[in-house]
Structure 1
Amino acid sequence: MNHQLIQKYNVPGPRYTSYPTVPYWDELQFTAEDWKLSVNQAFKQSNSTEGISLYIHLPFCESLCTFCGCNKRITTNHTVESPYINALLKEWKLYVDLFGGRPIIKEIHLGGGTPTFFAPEQLKKLINGLFELADRSTEWDFSFEGHPNNTTREHLQTLYDLGFKRVSFGVQDYDPVIQKAIHRIQPFENVERVHNWAREIGYESIGHDLVFGLPKQTRLSIAETIEKTNLLKPDRIAFYSYAHVPWIKGNGQRGFDENDLPKDDEKRSLYNLGKLLLEENGYAEIGMDHFALKTDSLYTSLQNKKLHRNFMGYTSSKTQLMIGLGVSSISDSWFAFAQNVKTLEEYYALIEQNQLPIYRGHLLNNEDLIIRKHILNLMCTLQTSWESHELQFPELPTVILSLKEMEEDGLLTFTRNGLSITTEGVPFVRNICMAFDLRLTRKQPETRLFSMTV
């Protein structure tokens, strides 16, 4: 990759799992009552035709991984499991009462934290509790994140029997030096064991999460990690850029010397090498930082132009209404966002008072909805169009003008009423989206908010 382009475009920028991005939510104009009205509206519009999605945040981990930017609570005390499951089910009941009808659940994703911190019987209690008040869509897609060190065969079998057909395992990197630096000691044998169990049980899609840009990471460690990954042949791979944001996440990301982090060209070369090796082994690049075999639903959704992106990352389908349950979870009704409180203490207190545990959100105006569509198009299909009047906005000529330099650098090409991102431009998709981000353009952050784009 062109060294000058990396130097030029490697700036802080959002990952665009939403628009507007969370730091630009207009919290002063948001109320819990507005959120409830938006949820009720979205439920009535879409439940019977496409169902709803659930993201459930399970925050507990037994040890701290120093690369992690997730909301988590570190503990080895497993008596925390039952109270948290009970609170989740109570929060779910609050939403079902708000819907005014019986929900049809199309998607469930268990994220964390470490979902497999919870005993299989607790996870079974959770899922069965959800469906006491809901029905399952005929096109359901349930998935969860598993830690290779503590995921048991019983976890995998229990969740499979409950309808989960996808699982992703956090791998990061197999090099022992890197694992020590990020406090995630996880031998290949542990991943191989749980991966093979999942295959034997019948999971339709197994994913591995890898990370580039970790401390002490080299081209050799990337090559060895990809080589071991190819031995297991997961169906999809998330190959994430390490987001170094210690000013947001506190001491958790200060467990190593920042001089140990690969920078700029060095970091991007790790991704380029990984991408080359993955493509040589039959993986196709999906959007940003994702790869899948051509037999996987993520690839099929890309080909059918149904790929979607939300707070869970890339998904093979969408629902208008996504409810987030648990601490820090974010919900999306398409017309509004809402985020839950971030501490367990606040969460439990509000649930005990029969209140939805939200503390901030954003109501999307018409401009937001237009820009959101453009950014989704760019992130999911690497192109967008403004031929339709519904996708035009007053600042569009200024946005096009701001993209001319990227066109000259070979990152995109303009069509008569749209643009397409070139192969050379894919690593800079976040930068291209930033040109459409009117809220960011109008008010540049005064402090560091985002990770580096490249």
Structure 2
Amino acid sequence: MSSSLIQKYNVAGPRYTSYPTVPYWDEHTFSLPLWKQTLKRSFDESNQSEGISLYIHLPFCETLCTFCGCHKKITKRHDVEQPYIQAVLKEWDLYCQLLGDKPHIKEIHLGGGTPTFFSVAHLQQLIEGILAKASIADGYEFSFEGHPNNTTREHLQALYDLGFRRVSFGVQDYNETVQKAIHRIQPFENVENVTQWAREIGYSSISHDLVFGLPFQNLDDVLFTIEQTKRLMPDRLAFYSYAHVPWIKGNGQRGFKDQDVPKDDLKRQCYEEGKKKLLAHGYHEIGMDHFALAQDGMYQSFKNRTLHRNFMGYTASKTQLMIGLGASSISDSWYSFAQNEKKLEDYYSRLEQNEIPVVKGHVLSPEDLIIRQHILNLMCAFETSWADPAMYFPEISDVLQRLQEMQNDHLLVIEQERIMITEQGKPFVRNICMAFDLHLKRRKPETQIFSMTI
């Protein structure tokens, strides 16, 4: 990739886990009754046919990783576990009362924070409590995020016995200097142990999260990390760009200086050379920042054009309704988004009043729904079309005008009523989606609120 293209298109932009993106949610027209209304509508439309997804946020971590942008609570006190589990189960009970019919669960994902901060017994209590009020849909997929330093074989076995077949481990980078800078010290042996245990137990999909663009990281570090990863051959990989947004995340990302973070050409070289290594090792590029072996379900869904993207990232199957449980979780009814209280005290307080603890959200307009689908198409299939009248919107001519220069740079091809992203254009998929983002075009942010696209 030419440095001129990097300099040209390396601007601040969203990652599009939703459209509209969170800074453009219209909180003034949103209300809890409207959220409940769209939730029930979506549930009635999709529960029997495809089931629902649950994202459960488990926010506790024993130490602060300074690269992390997640909502978390740092503590070494494990007496916080039981009250939190009880709160999440109460929230689930409030949803079940609202839904009426028994939910068919297609997906469960435990995220964080650090889900394996919790004891085996408390995780069993959580999942058994969830499933006691639901049935499991055909082709279900349960997954969780594990920290290599505290995930035990008992964690893996207990969750496997409850139906979990996919686990992702946060690796980031194997260089000690980088690990110290991001406050995430974990030797290769820890990652090797949890990966082997998961295989021995029978997990069908093991994923490692790698990050490029970390402080003090250079090209050799990235390539070394990928070579170490090859020794374990996880079924899928997330190869993320570090999002340096200290103005949003505060002191957590101020454990190093801005000049310690790789910039522009070096950062993109880390990705391009890393990608070459991954492809040479048998991985296939899936959507944005993801790779999978041919036998993995994510690659199969990409080939079958059933790949989906939501607040959990890429998923191998689509559900119209995703309910987020836990502090800061975001729910998606397709017709609206809703986010829970972020502070634990506020989350607990709302539940004590028997209220679903939603604090803000956005109801999607007919225009939003069309643009959302176009962005999903681009993110998941690298193309989109408005040949179907339902996918047409009046501003499409303006979008095409904005994309013309990208076509001149060979990043995409504009055909009659269709756009296809080229191989050269895949790293710029966020920029291409931004051309469709009508909220962003109508009200450009006065300050930087997104990470850089490249």
What range is the shorter-chain TM-score in? over 0.9
Deviation for aligned residue 1:362 = 0.4
User: For structure 1, which runs of at least 5 residues remain unmatched after alignment?
Assistant: none
* Cα distance in 2, alignment partners of residues 378 and 366 from structure 1: 19
Partner Cα distance (1:258, 1:4) in 2: 23
Q: How does 1:251-290 map to 2 (within 5 A)?
A: 251-290=251-290
Q: Is the aligned partner of 1:322 residue 2:322?
A: yes
SS in 1 for 2:405: helix
**For the residues of structure 2 that align with 1:70 and 1:80, how far apart are their CA atoms?**
19
Q: Show the counterpart of 1:295.
A: 295
- 1:166 equivalent to 2:166? Answer yes
Distance 2:385 2:39 in 1: 29
Corresponding position of 2:350: 350
Identity of aligned residues (%): 65
Matched to 1:43, the amino acid is F
Distance between the aligned counterparts of 1:169 and 1:246, measured in 2? 24
2: distance between equivalents of 1:336 and 1:14?
19
2:426 aligned with 1:426: yes
Q: What is the alpha-carbon distance in structure 1 between the residues aligned to residue 391 and residue 256 of structure 2?
A: 46
Pairing of 1:40-59 with structure 2 (within 5 A):
40-59=40-59
Alignment of 1:331-410 (within 5 A): 331-410=331-410
Q: Following the alignment from structure 2 to structure 1, what is the Cα–Cα distance between the partners of residues 301 and 157?
A: 27
Distance in 2 (CA, whole Å) between partners of 1:84 and 1:448 is 34
How many residue pairs were aligned? 454
* 1:345-389 alpha-carbon deviations (Å, 9 max, x no partner): 000000111001011000001000000000000000000001111
**1:45, 1:294 → 2: CA distance?**
33
SS state at 1:361 partner: strand
Per the alignment, in what secondary structure is the counterpart of residue 414 of structure 1?
Answer: strand
Partner of 2:191: 191
| Equivalence for 2:39 | 39
Aligned residue for 2:144?
A: 144
* Secondary structure of the corresponding residue to residue 28 of structure 1: coil
Three-state SS of the structure 2 residue aligned to 1:331 is: strand
Secondary structure of 2:48 counterpart: helix
Amino acid aligned to 1:9: Y
Residue deviations 1:209-229 (CA, integer Å, cap 9, x gap): 000000011111111100000
Q: In 1, distance between residues paired with 2:22 and 2:337?
A: 9
- d(CA) in 2 for partners of 1:132 and 1:182? 40
Residue aligning to 1:8:
8
Secondary structure at 2:309's aligned position in 1? strand
SS at match of 1:45: helix
Say whether 1:453 aligns with 2:453: yes
Q: Which residues in structure 2 correspond to 1:301-312 (within 5 Å)?
A: 301-312=301-312
- How far apart are 1:138 and its partner, in Å? 2.0
Number of the residue aligned with 2:415: 415
Structure 1 counterpart of 2:312, which letter? Answer: M
CA distance in 2, matches of 1:419, 1:37: 35
Per the TM alignment, residue 448 of structure 1 is displaced from its structure 2 partner at its CA by 1.1
Of residues 325-334 and 410-419 in structure 1, the stretch that sits farther from structure 2 once superposed is: 410-419
Could you say what secondary structure the match of 2:28 adopts?
Answer: helix
* Deviation for aligned residue 1:289: 0.3
In structure 1, distance between residues paired with 2:402 and 2:448: 23
What does the per-residue CA deviation read over 1:159-181, in whole Å, with 9 as the maximum and x for residues that have no partner? Answer: 00000000000000000010001
2:326 is aligned with what amino acid?
Answer: G
C-alpha separation in 2, matches of 1:439 and 1:184? 37
What per-residue deviation string (whole Å, max 9, x for no partner) do you get for residues 315-341 of structure 1?
000111100000110000000000001
- Give the C-alpha shift of residue 415 in structure 1: 1.6
Following the alignment from structure 1 to structure 2, what is the Cα–Cα distance between the partners of residues 41 and 280?
46
Deviation at 1:257, TM superposition (A): 1.4
Shift of 1:127: 0.3
| 1:42-100 alpha-carbon deviations (Å, 9 max, x no partner) | 11111011110000000000000000000000000000000000000000000000101
Matched residue SS, 1:141:
strand
Q: Does 1:442 align with 2:442?
A: yes
Q: Secondary structure at the match of 1:145?
A: strand
Q: Are 1:243 and 2:238 an aligned pair?
A: no
Deviation sequence 1:176-229 (CA, Å, 0-9, x none): 010001000000000000000000000000000000000011111111100000
- Match of 1:102, SS state, is coil
Distance 2:398 2:34 in 1: 33
1:115 and 1:184 map into 2 onto residues whose CA distance is: 16
Structure 1 stretches of 4+ with a deviation exceeding 4 A read none
Give the Cα separation in 2 of the matches to 1:224 and 1:28: 49
Separation in 2 of the partners of 1:161 and 1:109?
Answer: 15
Post-superposition shift, 1:405? 0.5
CA deviations 1:266-290 (Å, max 9, x no partner) are 1000001110000000000000000
Relative to the length of structure 2, the TM-score reads 1.00
Distance across 1 between alignment mates of 2:222 and 2:133: 46
SS at 2:49's partner residue?
A: helix
Q: Secondary structure at the match of 1:367?
A: helix
SS at match of 2:168: strand
- Alpha-carbon separation, structure 2, partners of 1:186 and 1:220: 19
